[in-house]
Amino acid sequence: MVLPEHDCSSAENFHRAIDLFVIKTLNESAPRDRQYIYLAPGGDHVFHKELMMTPMDHLHRFQEMLHISEKLPAGNIPVPNATLQVEWLYMSYHKSDHAEFVRSGNKLSGETLQTLTEYFQSIHEIRMTDGSLQRKRDDQIRQSTRCEMRGELEKRFHDKMNRYTHSRDKRQHAYDKCGRNNHFKTSCIKHE
């Protein structure tokens, strides 16, 4: 029996093997689609700009993620065009940044990734200079700390209530065991 010739060293087979390896490792049949879903606004896990990150760094991260996505095994979602990429980047900013962009009279239709980033970079620099961005970050830290403390206080309260309930139940059980009438003291003394 003669096996058909199969060139294992061809670039096509190598890329196919890498794609299968990535699909198997990520346990995802279409990793590129999953990445695009992550980058697109409105999903459960959303790509967004961190408060203190500069818009230029955010743009570089966004472009890197798009570049990496193109290297992943394809699925059914087409590569986003430039207009869609601008919209995705815009939606990764906070709502207050969106409001500022709209108030300034700008429209997404005339923007590129670079011009949009330059606009947000100028706002970021103003907010860094006047200290409003740092105050906002401090408020975020304060709120997250409060949430953590609230969780800790609730846990301590529930633990204390559980101990109290357990103690009360033990007393009630002892009371039931010793009797509920006027002979409570005498009947308990006899049992002891």
Greater pLDDT, 73 or 187 = 73
Q: Which string of DSSP letters, residue by residue, matches 10-32? A: -HHHHHHHHHHHHHHHHT-S-HH
Count of CB atoms within 10 A of residue 176's CB?
Answer: 9
Are 65 and 150 a contacting pair, CB within 8 Å? no
Across the range 173-178, mean pLDDT stands at 68
Across the range 155-182, mean pLDDT stands at 72
pLDDT for position 178: 64
* pLDDT tens digit sequence for 73-98: 988 989 999 999 999 999 999 888 88
- Token couple for 151: 């969780």
pLDDT at 170 over 80: no
Across the range 37-66, mean pLDDT stands at 87
pLDDT for position 81: 93
